[in-house]
């Protein structure tokens, strides 16, 4: 009798709540942000094979366009710059040797132990003073070009001069390496082409915590994101990316490339991407999968903050081929994966909030 009395009292209300939960719950195509006040709801895009192919093509096109002008197949030779120290020797004329001044450089500016050797310093105007030749503008010239210019000047005073000219200390051009490398700091550009791989190797290599897919190259006001594995997949040698003086290379940490999984999954968590790659299927699998008790497999959402605004993708995991599409859908850093609750779970939670313990009392009272 108590059971019947209780049911008769609350059955109409429970039926009303059930209908409300079924109507106000998440719907296919409604998006996880439906009903949130404060602005328009972003449209929901269903994850299909066409969408996956379009995203892959857009990602490949964006990467190839941004890095096309950074790739140099044949690096140019080193050019002399302001502040470099030159070693100049005129053979059979020892009286012209040792005319340079000692450079006031530090050990950090000139590689190798000990004080920097004496030499001819290229001044702030790019010139060098040499006996008989006078002031020579050598900035912007290669060693061979500078040697030819000096030989031509000395030929007016010395018969068939034999000149040796080389850069003794490289101080005019530098790049800066920062982030997840063993030896962050500045690197001087010398006669060996300063490619991206060369700069990373001089910095001692990347740490285990480095994200090889998020190496940012800053050149002036421009920023380029370089992924080593992505370049290799596209057939681009990372050693062909030539750095310019003043470039800043930042190697980001893997902790900055996380994907967040929440909602009706077994274990909500933040996942670290594997060198910039993580698929929707892998993220759901590492979170234990969709909860069999409360998750709605029709409503798996991916919320992404894009430059053009927030984008919301939806996967219906009950459809044929859904697992294959989830494996092909690649996530991006800071993506949010949300699995909505089923209508039955929403109804149960609504009743539990209004009448704590009511369902438990019904079940207990109905037992013989």
Q: What are phi and psi of 207, to 5 degrees?
A: -75, 160
Q: What is the pLDDT of residue 188?
A: 94
| Euclidean distance between CA atoms 66 and 217, whole angstroms | 11
Average pLDDT of the segment spanning 69-77: 87
| Euclidean distance between CA atoms 258 and 270, whole angstroms | 6
Average pLDDT of the segment spanning 238-264: 91
Q: What is the pLDDT of residue 60?
A: 74
Q: Map tokens 């001692």 to a residue.
A: 204
Tell me how long the chain is: 368
CB neighbour list of residue 148: distance below 8 Å, 6 or more residues apart: none
Q: Is the pLDDT of residue 39 over 60?
A: no
Q: Is the pLDDT of residue 362 over 80?
A: no
Q: What is the pLDDT of residue 170?
A: 94
Q: Which domains does the chain have, with CATH numbers?
A: 12-58+257-349 (3.10.560.10), 85-169 (3.30.1950.10), 173-254 (3.10.560.10)
| Euclidean distance between CA atoms 109 and 129, whole angstroms | 22
Average pLDDT of the segment spanning 266-284: 90
| Euclidean distance between CA atoms 80 and 169, whole angstroms | 10
Q: What is the pLDDT of residue 306?
A: 82
CB neighbour list of residue 244: distance below 8 Å, 6 or more residues apart: 175, 219
Strand order in the sheet with 258-263: 44-46, 309-315, 295-306, 336-341, 258-263, 269-272
pTM: 0.69
| Euclidean distance between CA atoms 287 and 98, whole angstroms | 71
Whether 44 and 314 have beta carbons less than 8 Å apart is answered as: yes
Q: Is the pLDDT of residue 324 over 70?
A: yes
For residue 56, what is the enclosing H or E element? helix 49-67
Q: Is the pLDDT of residue 110 over 60?
A: no
Pick the more confident residue, 11 or 159.
159
Q: What percent of the chain has pLDDT over 70?
A: 78
Average pLDDT of the segment spanning 319-348: 89
Q: What percent of the chain has pLDDT over 90?
A: 45
| Euclidean distance between CA atoms 337 and 348, whole angstroms | 23
Q: Is the pLDDT of residue 85 over 80?
A: yes
DSSP state of 35: T
Average pLDDT of the segment spanning 231-260: 88
In tens, the pLDDT along 128-178 reads: 999 888 899 999 999 999 999 999 999 998 888 999 999 999 999 999 999
Best-predicted range by mean pLDDT (53-67, 111-125, 141-155): 141-155
Q: What is the pLDDT of residue 368?
A: 54
């Amino acid at each position: 009798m108590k059971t019947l009395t209780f049911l008769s009292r609350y059955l109409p209300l429970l039926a009303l709540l059930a209908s409300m939960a079924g109507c106000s719950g998440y719907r296919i195509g409604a998006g996880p942000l439906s009903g949130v006040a404060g602005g328009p709801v972003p449209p929901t895009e269903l994850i299909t094979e066409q969408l996956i192919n379009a995203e892959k093509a857009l990602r490949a096109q964006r990467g190839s366009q941004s890095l096309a002008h950074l790739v140099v197949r044949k690096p140019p030779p080193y050019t002399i710059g302001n502040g470099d120290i030159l070693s100049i020797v005129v053979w059979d004329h020892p009286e012209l040797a040792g005319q340079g001044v000692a450079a006031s450089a530090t050990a950090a500016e000139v590689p190798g132990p000990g004080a920097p050797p004496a030499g001819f310093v290229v001044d702030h105007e790019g010139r060098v003073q040499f006996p008989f030749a006078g002031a020579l503008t050598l900035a912007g010239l290669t060693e061979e070009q500078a040697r030819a210019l000096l030989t031509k000047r000395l030929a007016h005073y010395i018969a068939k001069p034999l000149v040796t000219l080389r850069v003794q200390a490289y101080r005019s051009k530098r790049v800066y390496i920062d982030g997840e490398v063993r030896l962050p700091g500045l690197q001087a550009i010398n006669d060996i082409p300063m490619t991206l791989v060369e700069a990373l190797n001089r910095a001692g290599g990347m740490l285990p915590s480095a994200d090889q897919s998020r190496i940012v190259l800053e050149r002036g006001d421009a920023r380029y994101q370089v992924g080593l594995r992505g370049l290799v997949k596209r057939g681009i040698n990372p050693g062909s990316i030539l750095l310019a003086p003043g470039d800043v290379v930042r190697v980001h940490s893997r902790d900055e490339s996380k994907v967040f999984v929440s909602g009706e999954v077994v274990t909500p968590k933040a996942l670290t991407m594997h060198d910039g790659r993580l698929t929707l299927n892998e993220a759901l699998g590492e979170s234990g999968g969709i909860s069999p008790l409360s998750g709605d497999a029709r409503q798996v959402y991916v919320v992404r903050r894009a430059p053009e605004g927030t984008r919301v993708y939806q996967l219906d995991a009950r459809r044929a081929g859904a697992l294959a599409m989830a494996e092909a859908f690649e996530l991006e850093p800071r993506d949010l994966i949300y699995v909505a609750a089923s209508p039955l779970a929403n109804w149960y939670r609504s009743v539990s909030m209004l009448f704590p313990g009511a369902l438990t009392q019904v079940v207990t009272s109905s037992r013989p």
